[in-house]
Amino acid sequence: MSARKVQVVQKILDDVYGPYTGPGWRPAAFSGRSRRYLWSDAFGVCNYISMHYAAGSKDQQYLDQADAVIDDVHETLGCYRGKDKKRLGAATDEHPLLGGLRIGKEDPDDDGQYFHYLTKWMFALNRMKIARDDDKYNRWAIELAESVHSKFVRVEGGRPRMFWKLSVDLSCPMTWSEGNLDPFDGYVTYRLLLEQSRNAMALQQEISEMKAMVARKYMVYSSSDELDLGEALWLCSWFPDDNWAQVVAHKSIACIDELYAEGRLARSQATRLMFREMGLTMGMRCAINLNAHDKWRARVDQLHDFWEDKLYTRDRDISPLMYASSVLPIVFEPNRGYFL
């Protein structure tokens, strides 16, 4: 790990959330209409944890900042919009995620709950449990999974399927189709939560249903989306010995080669999205041994170099935060084996 990478990530976190000012620090709002955004903040929390490890785990400042983001997300996205700030569903101060978490869209009509955003938050809490050695974070994540799973999963023709997006109160689907990776997201994330749980029977039914959906989908997995492919590689890297993971990882690698053959990742900036490409590079870093494959290391380096001076051209949260995660992916790296 280079000192320069740590400095880059530190500057991004200071730019996005504001410099640390001591005890009582609170993260800056993303915008006047939407203080927090779940996907961005999940990466933000993970970046603070990575910085904690990069600093040698001695200084608790970065974990305190991660805690502040977590609290702000729960107090903002765990509540309905409006002055009364009523919590979603059956959530309480002690159990803040029993009603899920809003996406955080600026337009109230666009808001709702995405499963893949929720699993990213579960992952962030799961990693915080490890960093803090405090079970409450993983317990919150399990409560979130238990609360939303039955809302997103439906049985159709005797087989479980998923809704991509639900209303804020989880009462009805806003998008009926199933996300390409949602079952994989659930299957991997739930298993990571179980690994850190004191209850060996936690999420058994939920894991079983996700496993059934993964079994139905993995042989036909395909994508032409950079973020989807990067996420697929990242998910596979947590359980590299599983047959489904080996199949999906090698399919993803082949699809990425196709993107390069088509010149998709050499087009002008106007036709590309940095956060999608940073999801791709993070997946490549986690699933491929870049030290042994010059071609893939060059691909990651070229994308980092291309976007380095364009961090804030589209937005000031999701893009720079995902760049930071790709540059310093400590908390995202399973270190359980590579596919190449």
Q: What is the pLDDT of residues 180-199, one digit of tens each?
A: 999 999 999 999 999 999 99
Measured distance CA(158)–CA(92) in Å, rounded: 35
In this predicted structure, what is the pLDDT of residue 26? 98
Residue given tokens 């977590």 in the structure block: 70
More confident residue, 336 or 150: 150
Which pLDDT band holds residue 59 (cuts at 50, 70, 90)?
A: confident
Q: Is 219 or 81 the better-scoring residue by pLDDT?
A: 219
The answer on pLDDT for 34 being more than 90 is no
Mean pLDDT of the residues in the chain: 96
State both tokens at 35: 């203080």
pLDDT of residue 1: 67
What's the pLDDT tens digit per position in 100-126? 999 999 898 899 999 999 999 999 999
Predicted confidence band of residue 232 (pLDDT cuts 50, 70, 90): very high
Residue percentage of the chain with pLDDT more than 90: 93
Q: State residue 262 phi and psi, 5-degree precision.
A: -80, -10
Lowest mean pLDDT among 13-17, 54-58, 293-297: 54-58
How far is it, in rounded angstroms, from Cα 147 to Cα 158?
22
| 209-217 mean pLDDT | 98
Contacts of 218 (CB under 8 A, 6+ apart): 184, 244, 247, 248
What is residue 332's predicted lDDT score, i.e. its pLDDT?
Answer: 98
Predicted confidence (pLDDT) at residue 95 exceeds the cutoff of 90: yes
Residue 158 has pLDDT above 90, yes or no: no
Mean pLDDT of 321-325: 99
pLDDT at 46 over 70: yes
The model's pTM is: 0.98
Tell me the backbone φ, ψ of residue 154, rounded to 5 degrees: -130, 155
At 14 the pLDDT is 99
Residue 38 has pLDDT above 70, yes or no: yes
Which range among 42-46, 158-162, 235-239 shows the weakest confidence by mean pLDDT?
158-162
Mean pLDDT of 267-287: 98
pLDDT band at 82 (very low <50, low <70, confident <90, very high): confident
Q: Tokens 């990693």 identify what position?
A: 127
